Structure 1
Amino acid sequence: MDQKPDGIFGIIEIVRDFYDHGIDEHMIVFVLMVVVALDIVLGVSRAWAYHEFSSRKWRKGLVSHTAMILIVAVGYPFALYMNLGPVIDTFIVAMMAAYGSSILASLSALGVEIPGLDHFIKQNIDHEKFQLKDGLKEPKKLIKKKEDK
């Protein structure tokens, strides 16, 4: 008798079956994971370059990024199973845009200039929290403004 798994084993079976057969047709999941990994690497590089690396920020960032990867990796097969593919795809694209803006800000802070995008980043940065330093021979840095006392 061939019985389908139920309960937690049914959930595991849906996810396992997706990654056995369906991931090739849904590269958006893999692309998001690559974007998240790139954001981690650039964020750590930025913190290291500006001597702002702290274990508390590292743990917080690692937990939130890992949670995003796990939610998408496990939730995506279920969304497809429930015929909610367009909804989860929209969520993933929004997350890629958010992580992409973080990647661009980190690249700009590290001194990597991307023609066209660099001007856009400088125009749209949150000037309340950060101030761009100009006139330096080293890479342009984002520094926190000192609070007026």
Structure 2
Amino acid sequence: MKSLQAVTFVKKIAKVTACILLITSCDQLICPQSIQSVWVENRQSDTLLKRAIYSAVFQLDPHKIKASADAAPLRDLLVGLTAYNRKGDVVPAIAQNWFTEDEKEWLFILDEKAVWSNGQPVTAQDFVASWRRLIDPQNHSVLSKYLIYMGIEKCKSD
């Protein structure tokens, strides 16, 4: 007899719980109109990028990146001379074309339409300055060691 009462009690609790879940799940979101309009406006924007960052410290300096996970947001913000396509092939980015005669010195032809966010044109000097900053020992960039490992000349300062 007690087991029948227990089963009946459990069934009643299950029905009440199901009703509560049904009622609360059908409730409309109570949110100020201004927040709703911003959310809808942002959701429909083609220029808005939302990115989760899973790091306690976020670095916007590309020369100070220490882990590939930290580089992901910067890949969304910065464009290099070249990029990779979905197959992993090197494709043009800022450099529209590049040439070499001896596999040591390279000539990159930059896209004339490439500009910074302030409208200033991207120049070859911008890339030269970045590479020089990368090898500067005062910046303590862990990435400079890759240049030495790859055998790139003049990447080790005296």
Query: Which TM-score applies when normalising by structure 2?
Result: 0.23
Report which of the two structures shows the higher radius of gyration computed on alpha carbons: 2
Which structure: greater helix fraction? 1
Structure with the bigger RCO (C-alpha within 8 Å, sep 6+) is: 1
Which structure: greater strand fraction? 2
Query: Which TM-score applies when normalising by structure 1?
Result: 0.24
